Amino acid sequence: MNLPLVLDFLRNLAANNNKAWMDAHRADYHRARAEYTAFVAALLRDASAELEPGLRGLTPPDVMFRINKNDRFQQSDEPYKRHMGAGFKPGGRHSPWAGYFVAVEPGGETYVGAGRWMPEPAQLARIRQEIHYNAPAFHALRQDATLLSQFPEGLDMSQALKTAPKGYDRTDPDIEWLRLKSFFVWRAFPDVEVRRPDFPTQVLAAWQAARPFVTFLNEAMREE
């Protein structure tokens, strides 16, 4: 796998984010895509063996996101994403479960993450209920030293209700966490680390640290 080539292509794409340029550099895109696919294939192999058995049988196309933007979420007129990303979850990238993520983007924007971003209402209700009923276990997981060694910022607090969710008192001691709409940890990597041969090992180490947290979320979301 040649992630420096991927970074170089994405840097050029960011400077020329239009269909005409992409059409003229389609061969470059396919080369970069092939290198990213090899990176994802290696992660799938190791993660399914060491991290999440539910990934067994999945292939890179099952977990890789398209580079074309989805019009429903487009916030600019650029037709292409500036990164190549993948979501490692049982059932593939669009499954409803918590899982593991990696997106390569130049300029220090590469990130590795884990958890469940914006779960569906029923899932979110189950996670909140589990936190409410089993707060000590939740706090032990989010404050775990191994997790924080890989994700020093802890849980992403950017997606949260401004008020208490329905059914909970605003004076609840755990209201800060019950207000969250996403349960996700992530960490950015500078380009110099992405270019290193051991970057896949770093990704797996980060995911391994988040494994108990991901397991907690999936058990909470599972219907009785």
**Which of 87, 89, 15, 26 lies closest to 55, judged by CA?**
89
Distance, CA of 47 to CA of 42 (rounded, Å): 8
Strand duo 183-189 + 110-116: pairing = antiparallel
> Which residues of the chain are under the pLDDT cut of 70?
71-75, 224
pLDDT value at position 71?
58
Query: The whole model's pTM is what?
Result: 0.93
CA 186 to chain centre: 7
Q: Can you point out the beta strands (E) in 22-137?
A: 84-88, 99-104, 110-116
Residues 63-74 have pLDDT tens digits of: 999 999 875 555
Model pLDDT, residue 175 = 96
pLDDT at 77: 82
Return the domain boundaries, the chain: 3-221
Q: What percent of the chain has pLDDT over 70?
A: 97
Give pLDDT, residue 75.
62
pLDDT tens for residues 166-196?
999 999 999 999 999 999 999 999 999 999 9
Rounded-to-integer distance, Cα 213 and Cα 141, Å: 6
Token pair in block for residue 52: 């999440």
